[in-house]
A and B are shown apart, each in its own frame.
Chain A
Amino acid sequence: GAVVSQHPSWVICKSGTSVKIECRSLDFQATTMFWYRQFPKQSLMLMATSNEGSKATYEQGVEKDKFLINHASLTLSTLTVTSAHPEDSSFYICSAPRSGRDQETQYFGPGTRLLVL
């Protein structure tokens, strides 16, 4: 089946630093990838849609200058959390839809747990 990888799986950083998270589709091409954030015991909240070859689309309330998204190729999207603060600590998950004959199934990466001290 389709596989999406994410790196790193966890990261601890000091407040004020920037953190880059990579999302790769390993055996299919993805012109679109999605970035979610999940706080403990809460649902997945869509942050932005990453589009290959064009600017990302951000959901309301998500700062585009803080969460930089670059869809560098058909298999790679990166999310950079700039000047991270403790409130940015969360579980970040990407997903990529793989078009099938009748549907678009989304495959999730394993997630990146970010802890900002």
Chain B
Amino acid sequence: GENVEQHPSTLSVQEGDSAVIKCTYSDSASNYFPWYKQELGKRPQLIIDIRSNVGEKKDQRIAVTLNKTAKHFSLHITETQPEDSAVYFCAANGVGQLTFGSGTQLTVLP
């Protein structure tokens, strides 16, 4: 089955700086890679996603890049704000179900 690894597990940045979270996956059949933001005690919220036929996607301060050959994808958040503080999960969808990474606790320091 699919195996998704995520790094780092914790990340602290100063407000206004950029944050990068990286994930690798194992199943070359995976073709959909969403990123979720989860605040404490709440449901995961989809923030951006990318399919395997695209190398990069951007939505305002958030961007995702995908390298199919190397089987890794990354989340980039620019101009971070305190409200960006949360746990971020990457996921890969190969056969209709999501496999999640272990999560990254992002803290944006004011």
Which positions in A face B, CB cutoff 8 Å?
A: 32, 34, 42-46, 49, 91, 93, 95, 97, 102-111, 113
Contacts and interface: CB of A to CB of B under 8 A. Distances in A.
6 contacts: A43-B103, A91-B41, A95-B98, A104-B96, A111-B42, A111-B43
A43 B97 contact: no
Contacts, number: 48
Given A103-B51, A105-B46, A108-B43, A43 B100 contact: yes
A69 to B, nearest CB: 14
Contacts of B99: 46
Contacts of A102: 51
A110 B96 contact: no
Contacts of B103: 42-43
Contacts of A44: 44, 89, 100
- Of the candidates B36, B41, B44, B51, the one having the most CB atoms from chain A within 10 angstroms of its own CB is B44
B85 interface: no
A9 to B, nearest CB: 10
Interface of B: 32, 34, 36, 41-46, 49, 51, 89, 93, 96-103
Nearest to B98: A106
Contacts of B93: 104
Given A111-B42, A111-B43, A103 B32 contact: yes
Given A104-B32, A111-B43, A34 B49 contact: no
B42 A110 contact: yes
A32 B51 CA distance: 21
Given A106-B98, A108-B45, 15 more contacts: A42-B102, A42-B103, A43-B100, A43-B101, A44-B44, A44-B100, A46-B99, A49-B97, A97-B96, A103-B32, A103-B51, A106-B34, A109-B43, A111-B42, A113-B41
Contacts of B102: 42-43
